[in-house]
Structure 1
Amino acid sequence: MASCLVCGKALQIGARFCSWCGAVQDHGTGLLPPHATLHHGRYLILATVGRGGMGAVYRAQDTQLKGRLVAIKEMGQDGLTGQELQDAVAAFEREAEMLAHLHHVSLPHIYEQFEDRGRRYLVMEFIEGETLEQRLQREGRSLPLTLALEITRQLCLVLHYLHSQQPPIIFRDLKPSNIMLDAEQRVYLIDFGIARLFTAGQVKDTVALGSPGYAPPEQYRKATSPRSDIYSLGATLHALLSGDDPAQSPFSFRPLTLGSPPLERLIRRMVALEEDERPADMLEILRVIERVQQRRPTRKATKPPKKTTPRLSVLLSEAPEDQRLWRGIQQQLHALLVGFPPIEIERFREDGREPQLALVLLSDTLLASGREHLERALTMKHVLVVPLQAQLPVFPQVETLFEREGVAHQSLYAQEQHILEVAKRIRSLLVSLLLGERRNGPMNLLEWLLYQLYGRGYRDCRYLTLHDVVLKHVRPAGASRALVHLLERTTERVRGEYLIGPLQCTDLERLLEVLAVPNAQAVSGIATRQIPHKLSLHR
């Protein structure tokens, strides 16, 4: 026997109408009326709180447990027949079984599942609040940075919990409508309808589902992995901060300016199209988020770290040939440095501001038209002279390259080689000026890295201690590159590996992101030859 959805009177199984009150019994998904009952009268429907293509959710009372509020999820099956219906039932039962074995503060508790009148239901903890999608609509499509970071932090924790299961559980449908917020801003993940267990080596998911804009590219063409959830989390965070709907332009996210370079870099990496370009796991994201959170309250009261930028002052004539050669040197210099370290380049002027290095491109034209400037430049403390023609005057008190052959009248190949040598020598001099005579002791990260790349850092100061972590120069890696490990200070466990050099800035960005600093001059530590254990640190 069955009972009426509305009045509760006994009915024949399969009856379409109640013979007592006339109520329709074969309702559609999400159309149970208030006061209807389920599971032999145990659950009293109060209201429909959500409805979609995958099912509906009701707020109900458990009449056997003192009227406890529960959420009852109804499986959507309208229009499904045959194999489609079997697949939907299997997915629904899989969700119930999966959730029943999980216990986390950001996951709703599961009480039971049952079948009533040919439909399947899942009874779970009722969360009083609103979805993140509803909050965005109420707040004007974006959230304050502080709230967005806290939501992301909690999501990192629950997703890390799911990914830590054996086998890992991939949520696969992270988006604002599947995230609940209660009155105390606690986060809950809801709707595990398309979550799956991760199988290493699986080529393709059984079903390629997801929400456009939030689902990563691989979800449509091959098997997903925990990094697929990282993409969805990045898309969600971007939407929270920008107000943009990623469904309007899938796989395309405009750059954000948030006043926090580490956070901006993190979001870019999270929504990378290639899985291996995204952060390794949720804990890596969590560390950056927490460091950004810790720094925000004191941001306005803290003076930005003082930067030391090498300054190069160039003296040359206006002759077209001299200008062409200088452009070649400048291009090579930028190619060698790629902003590492950043330098200031300016035309020489006598304004009392002495440069760290004066570069003189000596030519007949300069001797004829700029003699006074030349005499002033030659009195600078650090000067490099590059004759552009042969047989020009020699100034023994300053360093001179190619003094007997010049540069301008060589073959094109020889000119390119000379220009490269000039750029390398400028780089070497600027780095030496930036580092000074120090071999170890207090250094910022930029100084330490430059010393590893261009000095004798591997021998003199292989380690840089930054609070609870230590950077170790493992070994040189070719021309002007170094393999660097990030170690836990107490255990010496390797937390990250980075190949850093002037043409390897991606790894430097990754390191800065983990350290949660905007640039390599913003964090300082102690440089030593041996790994330290009990040092007084300053950051």
Structure 2
Amino acid sequence: MLFANPEPPDEDNEPFVEVDPSGRFGRYSELLGSGAVKKVYKAFDQKEGRDVAWNQVRLRKFSADPSVISRLYSEIELLTTLKNDNIIVLFHFWKDSEHSTLNFITEECASGSLRDYRKKHRHVALRALKKWSRQILEGLEYLHTHDPCIIHRDLNCSNIFINGNIGKVKIGDLGLAATVGKSHEAHSLLGTPEYMAPELYEENYTELVDIYSFGMSLLEMATMEIPYSECASIAQIYKKVTTGVKPQALNKVNDPELKAFIERCIGQPRARPSASELLKDPFLSDVADCDET
């Protein structure tokens, strides 16, 4: 039987375009999302009978630096050990040498990314933003206090996902996460320019770069505008970020407490609070109990 011993599907009944080596996971052609590094497809877990997401990284993009491929592979292996309610679950991964891809299977969040969800629901109360924020910070706290410390490095609303029926938010797209030692310092440049902390450009940073990205993500949630959308190029974004010029979207945040909270998150590294400290911030005190019913 299929569930007892998964086999590659009958194409007439199961229109999979690809099946993992074990035969458990089948990929459909439907694209759930696409970014600079990977594409995410709708897929099915034949063993457990559930929808999943099939993430695919084209390794050719990193062919100039084989060490990046090696690090990416080993870091994803580490991510299989992570267990937190606000982190997307990673079920399985493998390298397809023939097609030069790295594939990993994660849980699928039914409502998609927080960016798309926010666009669909334009009237969201401040309380909802606070609930989403608390869950994101709880996920970051777990990553940052993990041994070894894990830095996401590419946090933004396109890789924060939500199950809208219960308001559950989960951090995903951990394929570019960096694991660092006791010094909590990392030394490579990756990320999405609009959300990258200034010290990331210097390639000498700590987990607090994720707090900066979280602040920019919260700014996007509040304004439904990508930070620095007034810039016409990455070079312009780089110049503004590295010289301390804040995005124009910040001027559109009318609530003074929300604006102050965002400004704390995107402040200078030495003044930037940790995820644990932000969870204790008075701004989030009225949603301390985040369990949804």
> With structure 2 as the length reference, what TM-score do the two structures score?
0.77
SS of 1:229's partner is helix
Q: Deviations over 1:334-392 (max 9, x none)?
A: xxxxxxxxxxxxxxxxxxxxxxxxxxxxxxxxxxxxxxxxxxxxxxxxxxxxxxxxxxx
CA contact (8 A) 1:95 1:193 kept: yes
- The yes-or-no answer on 1:148 pairing with 2:129 is yes
Q: Tell me which amino acid in the other structure corresponds to 1:105.
A: D
- The yes-or-no answer on 1:72 pairing with 2:59 is no
CA contact (8 A) 1:77 1:88 kept: no
Residue of structure 2 in register with 1:299 after alignment: none
Residue of structure 2 in register with 1:135 after alignment: 117
Q: Tell me which amino acid in the other structure corresponds to 1:102.
A: L
- The yes-or-no answer on 1:291 pairing with 2:273 is no
Shift of 1:290: 2.6
Shift of 1:203: 6.8
CA contact (8 A) 1:179 1:189 kept: yes
Residue of structure 2 in register with 1:269 after alignment: 264
Q: Tell me which amino acid in the other structure corresponds to 2:111.
A: G
CA contact (8 A) 1:58 1:73 kept: yes
- The yes-or-no answer on 1:107 pairing with 2:102 is no
Q: Which runs of 5+ in 2 are unaligned?
A: 1-7, 231-236, 289-293
Shift of 1:226: 2.1
- 1:139–1:202 CA distance, 2 compared to 1 (3 A): closer
Q: Quick one: distance in 2 between partners of 1:121 and 1:147?
A: 34
Larger radius of gyration: 1
SS of 2:228's partner is helix
How do 1:35-434 and structure 2 match up within 5 A? Answer: 35-40=16-21, 41-46=23-28, 47-63=30-46, 65-78=47-60, 81=63, 83-84=64-65, 86-116=66-96, 117-118=98-99, 119-140=101-122, 143-183=124-164, 184-199=166-181, 201=183, 205=187, 207-248=188-229, 250=237, 251=241, 252-253=246-247, 254-255=250-251, 256-258=253-255, 260-261=256-257, 263-272=258-267, 274-279=268-273, 281-288=274-281, 289-293=283-287
Q: Tell me which amino acid in the other structure corresponds to 1:266.
A: F
Shift of 1:204: 5.7
CA contact (8 A) 2:115 2:221 kept: no
Larger RCO, structures 1/2 (Cα 8 Å, 6+ apart): 2
- 1:165–1:87 CA distance, 2 compared to 1 (3 A): same
Q: Tell me which amino acid in the other structure corresponds to 2:27.
A: I
Q: Which runs of 5+ in 1 are unaligned?
A: 9-32, 295-539
- Tell me the C-alpha RMSD between the 2 structures: 2.7
Q: Quick one: distance in 2 between partners of 1:107 and 1:61?
A: 20
Q: Quick one: distance in 2 between partners of 1:185 and 1:98?
A: 28
> With structure 1 as the length reference, what TM-score do the two structures score?
0.44
Q: Quick one: distance in 2 between partners of 1:285 and 1:291?
A: 10
CA contact (8 A) 2:20 2:26 kept: no
CA contact (8 A) 2:25 2:45 kept: yes
CA contact (8 A) 2:59 2:102 kept: no
Q: Tell me which amino acid in the other structure corresponds to 1:232.
A: S
CA contact (8 A) 2:153 2:209 kept: yes
CA contact (8 A) 2:72 2:176 kept: no
Shift of 1:78: 4.8
- 1:60–1:203 CA distance, 2 compared to 1 (3 A): closer
Shift of 1:150: 0.7
Q: Quick one: percent identity of the two aligned structures?
A: 24
Shift of 1:148: 0.9
- 1:88–1:74 CA distance, 2 compared to 1 (3 A): farther
CA contact (8 A) 2:149 2:179 kept: yes
- 1:194–1:43 CA distance, 2 compared to 1 (3 A): closer
CA contact (8 A) 1:75 1:92 kept: no
Q: Deviations over 1:174-220 (max 9, x none)?
A: 10001001021101111112211234557761x21111121100000
- 1:138–1:200 CA distance, 2 compared to 1 (3 A): same
Q: Tell me which amino acid in the other structure corresponds to 2:79.
A: L
